[in-house]
Amino acid sequence: MKILVTGGAGYIGAITAKELVSAGHEVLVFDHFISHTPAKHGNIPYVKGDLLDPSSLDSSFSQFHPDLVMHFAAYIQMGESVANPAKYFKNNVEGSRNLIDAMVQADCKKLVFASSAGVYGNPVHLPIPEDDPKSPENPYGQTKLDVENMLKEYDTNHDLKSISIRFFNAAGATEELGEDHHDESHLIPNVILAQLVEREFSLFGNDYPTPDGTCVRDYIHVLDLAEAFRISAEQLLAGGETTCYNAGTGHGYSNLEIIKMIEKVSGKPVTIKYEPRRPGDANELVADVSRIQSELAWSPTHSDLESIINSAYAYHSHA
């Protein structure tokens, strides 16, 4: 199939685009390339455009005629979203509406959306089922929930079918691609990078109501996540209906457990400096993945913690 990948220069988008091409699909990357260069895509064709510029979207649809869109293009830093919510609502929500409108105009009615576990906030149940109450703790999570709700309306009014993948903490790397966000905010790359240059690592919060006082998260290898997106696309093309799925492992690790595994893989200690909690951080997020396993026959195969850390450490050591 022909797939337009928005945000295809980012961490998850770029790896998913390459996996789609390897699976035999035709891919066009759409990205504003503010933080990344097109070189990371190899031979995958790309368009430099912006979700806030409808003309660049319309041009991409008229030239490429995709069967389906995978939508990764979003600002993702939870802390920044608290400090600058307008930036997030403009790009993540307004930009998504522009994209969906362009899809309707081009009669492209299939979309796989990169949502987030952030839609749940502090969950009522653990592990978290898809029908758990939605109460985002920060504007980033709220933007993802807003787009999910928008997609339901576009299904009702325009018969646009979508699958929202609420992924938990994407992590790990391939040999060529890994996490290299501008102003990186994610735990694993930041701990590894601090260790590589032998500086202390600031850990935010050690007074959470968890066994060791640090946040607990469900980590999913980016290759397993790319597979969930591919299978979801094929489900939609086969006539699948609008729905949502959690993508995780069903097992959580605390921040301190992550740091201990990095120490094990590297053979070197991490110097920790404890800082106050970041606003908007939930205590514990662990996925109930029974729905995606039963309906899409998807299960992670790369996501044991040691494999995740090994791949990330290898990537950052040679980047």
Catalytic residue ranges: 140
| Burial of residue 257 (number of CB atoms within 10 Å: 0-12, 13-18, 19+) | middle
User: Is the peptide bond preceding residue 127 cis, with omega within 30 degrees of 0?
Assistant: yes
- Take residue 216 and report the two structure tokens written for it: 């607990």
- Dist CA 180 CA 172 (whole Å): 11
> In degrees, to the nearest 5, what angle opens at C-alpha 84 toward C-alphas 78 and 88?
65
Looking up tokens 């109460």, which residue turns up? 135
* Residue 103: its H or E element: helix 95-105
- Cα–Cα distance, 72 to 11 (Å, whole number): 9
Give phi and psi for 28, each to the nearest 5: -125, 125
179 closest CA partner among 270, 33, 314: 314
User: What sections of the chain are H helices per DSSP?
Assistant: 11-22, 54-64, 78-83, 85-88, 95-105, 139-158, 187-196, 222-237, 255-266, 290-296, 305-318
Q: Find the Cα–Cα–Cα–Cα dihedral 128, 131, 132, 133, rounded to 10°.
A: 150
Which of 2, 32, 29 minimizes the C-alpha distance to 17?
29
